Amino acid sequence: MKKKHVEVWERCLAVIKDNIPYQSYKTWFEPIVPLKIENNILVVQVPSQFFYEWLEDHYINLLRKTIKREMGPSGRLEYSIIMDNSTLSQKPVTVNYPTSTHKGIKNKPINMPLDLNKGRSREIPNPFIIPGLKKLKIESQLVESYSFDNFVEGDCNRLARSAGWAVAENPGKTAFNPLLIYSQVGLGKTHLGHAIGLQVKANFPDKTVLYLQTEQFINQYIDSVRNNNQNDFVHFYQMIDVLILDDIQFLAGKEKTQDIFFHIFNHLHQNNKQIVLTSDKPPVELKGMEPRLLSRFKWGLAADLQVPDLETRIAILQRKLYTDGIEMPDEVVEYLAYSITTNIREMEGALISILAQASLNKKTITLDLAKQMIDKFVKNTTREISIDYIQKVVCDYFNIPLDVLNSKTRKREIVQARQLAMYFSKKHTKNSLATIGLQCGNKDHATVLHACRTVNNLIETDRRFRNYVDEIDKKLKL
Ligand code: ADP
Ligand code: MG
């Protein structure tokens, strides 16, 4: 029989695996060894101090939630760090650290167990508790490191960056209201959104700034409906001076939330409050949005972020290394910037893998080591694929025009291609069935579910069909 700590940790891993990219899971979670459970404290061993800090900086919320889920509200996690494994005869010295609740742990390990209910500093506070009557005090949710200082300028982002800067100098008073920043994933929308918020706070400490992800907004709205306090919800948002809403494409198909956002938007706009939005598409291509809301999005400025050129990519990596106080040979930095051209997040992911690898094996970072790592990384990463991209690949494969794929036609070949597009969208993206349906010919979630079942059945029973699926899958991963 498995030991309890092993079993609990395995269950945690299963949850974690579902919530982060595979590469991150492999890098940061596979090397962790569960040691014991005592007094509902799970002790795990991590390979180095760097490792521990990385986990704390990046996965604290996920860890906290997972531990709570698997071990109950009184569950705790403690780390045991291998201080030196170069002398094998010596038993590893272990230090038990509780999981801290905030950044900056590096110099001051706190000797208190983690309280899962406290210090949820990166989660949105309950918006309905408005302490005091005079001045609204809310947690802005801004991440310090996503500053303008750390946002490298290049041709790829010049317009968006300078518009963002102008907005931060003069919130609500420029023509850029709303300012909508759009791009594919990993190109800096979130970073720029935070940078604007931070800069406003620096320029105007009294202004109320709120950054939030659209999903948080949607969830808060749902809660307010459940608790029957929608008015409080609306009032809360109307008191904000600068509202930064990230990834508004998630509003697609959410009519009620769009409705409420429409009112909040109007109120803020009329009162010269600043609105900053980000999205993965330009406004004209956003689907499932109410026309009146879409027309509002077009009032201000829509600026895009492009894939940076080689020079800018190098500058971004150097900036990152500088901020983290890490040195790396120029040739390695250049090789990295040269090899990874898709987006900045992947490039940073590769950088981190190299650092982790070097730290784990106590090797110095050489071009050879970097090459090995990057080659593996490029091969292993499953890119984030969009529904649009999937549709394009499926259409190219069967040689049908995109508008036919998304039309109402019931012709057999078209239906099948459409079902495949839905199936791959479910498989490769994180979109909900409803969103997939919406984008694939305005169908509902039940149709998408049916499509996935049909495709799975055909894969099992029809060899030729299975062949199609395999070939398209390969093309998607090119
Ligand atoms: P998006 O929101 O578009 O998916 P993010 O804002 O999360 O992208 O950016 C991904 C990563 O790339 C972040 O770590 C961010 O700091 C970094 N990044 C993006 N653009 C720049 C830039 N111009 N300079 C420095 N770092 C950048
Ligand atoms: Mg983002």
Of the candidates 364, 360, 363, 365, which has an alpha carbon nearest to the alpha carbon of residue 47? 360
Q: What is the dihedral of CA 212, 218, 220, 225, to 10 degrees?
A: 160
* pTM of the predicted model as reported, rounded to 2 decimal places: 0.61
- Ligand nearest, relative to CA of residue 146: 1
Domain 148-304, CATH homologous superfamily name and number: P-loop containing nucleotide triphosphate hydrolases (3.40.50.300)
Cα(187) to ligand 1 centroid in Å equals: 5
Question: Atom 1, ligand 1: which residue's CA is nearest?
Answer: 186
Helical H segments across 170-213, by residue range: 189-203
* CA–CA dist 273, 291 (Å, integer): 22
When the candidates are 1.10.8.60, 1.10.1040.20, 3.30.930.10, 1.10.3720.10, the CATH number that belongs to 310-380 is 1.10.8.60
Q: How many CB atoms lie within 10 A of CB 208?
A: 18
Phi, psi of 433 (to 5 degrees): -55, -40
> Which pair of structure tokens corresponds to residue 449?
């579910």
* CA–CA dist 195, 199 (Å, integer): 6
Cα(441) to ligand 1 centroid in Å equals: 32
User: Taking the alpha carbons of 194, 195, 198, 201 in that order, is the dihedral positive or negative?
Assistant: negative
Which residue is listed with tokens 């949710």?
141
Select from 318, 344, 430 the residue to mutate for testing ligand 1; criterion: most ligand atoms less than 8 Å from CB.
344
Q: What is the largest CA-CA distance in the chain?
A: 72
* CA–CA dist 262, 410 (Å, integer): 36
Atom number, ligand 1, closest to the C-alpha of residue 151: 24
- Ligand nearest, relative to CA of residue 215: 2
* CA–CA dist 97, 106 (Å, integer): 11
* CA–CA dist 114, 101 (Å, integer): 7
Select from 147, 162, 345 the residue to mutate for testing ligand 1; criterion: most ligand atoms less than 8 Å from CB.
345
Cα(332) to ligand 1 centroid in Å equals: 20
Question: Atom 16, ligand 1: which residue's CA is nearest?
Answer: 191
Q: How many CB atoms lie within 10 A of CB 166?
A: 17
* CA–CA dist 74, 114 (Å, integer): 9
| Beta strands 301-304 and 96-98, pairing class | unpaired
Domain 387-477 has CATH 3.40.50.150: no
Cα(8) to ligand 2 centroid in Å equals: 32
* CA–CA dist 326, 198 (Å, integer): 25
Select from 145, 182, 185, 187 the residue to mutate for testing ligand 1; criterion: most ligand atoms less than 8 Å from CB.
187
Cα(180) to ligand 1 centroid in Å equals: 16
Contact of 100 with 77, CB cutoff 8 Å: no
Atom number, ligand 1, closest to the C-alpha of residue 157: 23
What are the residue ranges of CATH 1.10.1750.10 in the chain? 387-477
- Ligand nearest, relative to CA of residue 352: 1
Q: Which 8-state DSSP code applies to residue 100?
A: P
Which residue is listed with tokens 């167990």?
113
Predicted pLDDT of residue 478: 66
What are the residue ranges of CATH 1.10.8.60 in the chain? 310-380
What are the residue ranges of CATH 3.30.300.180 in the chain? 4-113
Of the candidates 478, 421, 428, which has an alpha carbon nearest to the alpha carbon of residue 454? 421
Q: How many CB atoms lie within 10 A of CB 10?
A: 12
* CA–CA dist 390, 387 (Å, integer): 5
Domain 4-113 carries which CATH code? Answer: 3.30.300.180
What is the DSSP annotation of 129-170? ---SSSS--------TTSSSTTS---GGGHHHHHHHHHHHHS
Task: Cite the beta strand spans of 17-170 per DSSP E.
Answer: 33-38, 41-46, 76-81, 96-98
Q: Tell me which residues have their CB closer than 6 angstroms to ligand 1.
A: 150-152, 157, 183, 185-191, 316, 319, 344-345, 348
Q: List beta partners, residue 210.
A: 243
Atom number, ligand 1, closest to the C-alpha of residue 161: 23
Cα(108) to ligand 2 centroid in Å equals: 30
Cα(418) to ligand 2 centroid in Å equals: 28
Predicted pLDDT of residue 368: 86
Cα(146) to ligand 1 centroid in Å equals: 8
Predicted pLDDT of residue 274: 98
Contact of 200 with 168, CB cutoff 8 Å: yes
- Residues that place a CB less than 5 A from ion ligand 2: 189-190
Angle value at C-alpha 144, between 127 and 79, nearest 5 degrees: 90
Predicted pLDDT of residue 209: 95
- Give the CA distances from residue 38 to residues 5, 34, 46, 100, in Å, rounded to whole numbers and listed in that order: 9, 12, 18, 19
pLDDT tens digit at each of 478 positions of the chain: 788 999 999 999 999 988 888 777 887 898 899 999 998 999 998 877 777 877 887 888 889 989 998 998 888 888 887 764 443 333 444 444 444 443 333 332 322 233 333 333 333 444 444 444 344 467 889 999 999 999 999 999 999 999 999 999 999 999 999 999 999 999 999 999 999 999 999 999 999 999 999 999 999 999 889 888 888 888 889 889 999 999 999 999 999 999 999 999 999 999 999 999 999 999 988 989 999 999 999 899 999 999 999 899 999 999 999 988 888 899 899 889 988 888 899 899 889 888 888 887 777 888 888 888 887 766 655 556 788 889 989 999 999 999 999 998 999 999 999 999 999 999 988 888 989 999 999 999 999 999 999 999 999 999 989 999 999 998 887 6
| Beta strands 41-46 and 76-81, pairing class | parallel
